Amino acid sequence: MKKWLNYLPTIFILSIVLSLVFYSSQGSTVQMNYTQFEKIVDEVDFKKSSMTISSTVIHLEGTYEQNSKTVGYKVIVPRTEKNIEKLEKSLQRNGGKLTVEDPNQGSVWISILSQIIPFLIIAVFFYFMFAKMGGGGNNKAFEFAKSKARVESNVKVRFKDVAGCEEEKEEVKEIIDYLRSPKKFTDMGAHIPKGILMVGPPGTGKTLLAKAVAGEANVPFFSISGSDFVEMFVGTGASRVRDMFKTAQKSAPCIIFIDEIDAVGRQRGAGMGGGNDEREQTLNQLLVEMDGMTDNAGIVVIAATNRPDVLDPALLRSGRFDRRVTVSLPDIKGREAILHVHARNKKLASDVSLANLAKRTPGFSGADLANVLNEGAILAVRKNEAKVTMTDLDEAIDRVMMGPAKKSKKYTEKDKILVAYHEAGHAVIGLKLEDADMVQKVTIIPRGDAGGYNLMTPREEKYFHRKSEFIAQITGLLGGRTAEEIQFGEISAGAVNDIEKLTEIAKNMVRVYGMSSLGPIQYADPQGNVFLGRDYTKGSDYSAGVAAEIDKEVRAIVDECHENCRKILTENKDLLDLIANNLYEHETLTNEEITNLMNYGQLTDPNVETSEEEEKPEQEVVQVPEIPETSTGVDQKDLDDAFNELTKKKD
């Protein structure tokens, strides 16, 4: 039936064309009255005529020849014996053919049907068109409560396609064994968890891991988003939950995957100004289906969220989501494995080291790493390269973290040297402070909202951070601002992002981690997001006096780090000037080049021998002139003279 409906528009168009042809063919026929026919009946030669005699009139139609042209005619003549005799003679004169039709042979019905059929075709066409667009109404009303879950019967994803989460794979292997052979579990008296809640930051592979479970078990995979349940009409979501589990029971054993379950599984009665009836009814139905009066044997529910703190407690109790699997950000080993998975279809050059790439991407999720390789491939295509090089991937990391380089944005000479000293300050702290992060790359090319960019990675990845490491992070973030103070005697607004980060670290040290003289007392909820209806009206956990003490402790930590930062930069002023000069000249320095500047005072290692072909003429490094200091800082006139001298040297 549906295939026939697809041809309906074509049939409609053909009927219109045929009708037009029919009526156009009739357009050459002359409709005469009796008087006009009387004038020509003795003057023209009739070729072919048809005569239908009824009780009162005679219907004539046919063709005649006049002035060497064939003309069609139609006429109605009164029925008399005289007219019948006259017409028989006239129409058959000079070889004309006359056909007498019987008026009782159904020609009337044919005439009526020929006029009705086009209108019937048009009516049927519009009826089915409206029904297909939703005008049917009744059918759509029943489909509105149907589940929107998408079903994949043959999932191709396997565990080999999921990297960087080996422990998480171990947690879900029992699910695979149960779906493959549930009898050995029931014989032992064990029952598999009815639900698995996957928790973790965005992009860590929760959905991919759920698909891999279905692929390894070779069972149908029902996937739906939490927002697909919630509609404007109360009760729709509950109906869709019932329909989803009813459909899944027919395909059991199977997996139902609910992505972003916090959209429908939020705590009941926690909304501002009252609850959400539709969402709460949907949640109630989900609770019943998972562990209620019905038995859904063979159905495993896997849900994913990055906000487990807002879920309803009834959803997390045993018997519903029995097991929680935390999918964390991958470590260095996991990142390398993820890069190998996503590099399968990439043409990589021989200089590409995925191990080094993994070291440079701490804190990246699986989705971020896939994006890095994809951006590198796009850059290689843009440059018309045969393979993706390490330079392309290096630029791809910067693009993912900070955005594309704004090479068209030009600094003034004053701004350029200011940014160079700012970034050099960060680099010196990273080199000289033991617990600070390692400097991987420094550039003064603008990216995103940042005037410069300093890529620093931890010396080793840790799960727990010591107080000294937090102090070192704050000191490193103060390096840029402090370098501006030492060199120019004034500060710029370029450190706004650094200040935001170090303030957050200092507050957490005092309020969350208990790393201050206030002792091991937590004065803040460690979860950062506010859940309206539960946290919005929640009062402070401490008094105004304690708040003042917290402010003092935060200020003391930052002041101590500031003084230490100033001391390190002052003691290493020559290294600060050297890095700033080279940054001003070359705009970008790598980890190797910065290390060579610290050890040998130049960008290259003098102990590494190079062939004559590889030797390049040494570039002159523009030295930043000394700026005289006064007791009150730097005079504006001296600053202008110094920059004028610098510009002349560069020219």
d(CA 488, CA 627): 8
Pairing of strands 221-225, 254-259: parallel
- Tokens encoding 325: 């699997």
76 phi-psi bin (left φ>0, alpha ψ -120 to 50, beta other): beta
CB atoms within 10 A of CB 645: 13
423 has catalytic annotation: yes
C-alpha torsion sign, points 482, 483, 484, 485: positive
| Residue 463 near residue 480 (C-beta atoms within 8 A) | no
8 A C-beta contact, residue 293 and residue 246: no
Pairing between strand 299-305 and 254-259?
A: parallel
Sheet containing 221-225: give its strands across. 150-152, 221-225, 254-259, 299-305, 195-199, 321-326
Q: Which of 223, 229, 216, 220 is nearest to 266 (CA)?
A: 229
CA pseudo-torsion sign 244, 248, 249, 253:
negative
Residues 265, 279: Cα–Cα separation, whole Å: 8
76, containing H or E segment: strand 69-78
Q: Can you tell me the distance from the alpha carbon of 75 to that of 57, in angstroms, rounded to the nearest whole number?
A: 10
Identity at 166, one-letter amino acid code: E
Q: Return the beta strands (E) in 145-293 as ranges.
A: 150-152, 195-199, 221-225, 254-259
Distance CA 591, CA 612 (A): 25
| Preceding omega of 202 cis (within 30 degrees of 0) | no
SS3 150: strand
Beta bridge partners, 75, equal 60
What's the rounded Cα separation, in Å, for the pair 312 and 318? Answer: 13
Tell which residue, 501, 364, 360, 354, has the closest CA to residue 426. 501
Is 204 annotated to bind a ligand? Reply is: yes
Per the document, the length of the chain is: 651
The token pair at 183 is 């009898």
Q: Both tokens of residue 561?
A: 């780090």
Nearest C-alpha neighbor of 576 from the set 431, 455, 445, 456: 431
Nearest to residue 362, comparing CAs of 389, 342, 333?
Answer: 333
Choose the catalytic residue: 423, 484, 553, 593: 423
CA distance 275 to 478: 46
**202 appears as a binding residue in the annotation:** yes
| 426 labeled part of a ligand binding site | yes
Distance CA 6, CA 131 (A): 13
* Residue 86 labeled ligand binder: no
Q: Does residue 205 have a known ligand-binding role?
A: yes
Ligand-binding site membership of 206 (annotated): yes
**Residue 409 is which amino acid?**
K
By DSSP bridging, strand 45-53 and strand 57-66 are antiparallel
**Cα–Cα distance for residue pair 490/503, rounded to 1 Å:** 21
Q: Per the annotation, does 148 bind a ligand?
A: no
User: What is the distance, to the nearest Å, from the Cα of residue 348 to the centroid of all Cα atoms in its chain?
Assistant: 26
The residues annotated as belonging to the active site are 423
Q: Could you tell me which residues are annotated as the binding site for ATP?
A: 200-207
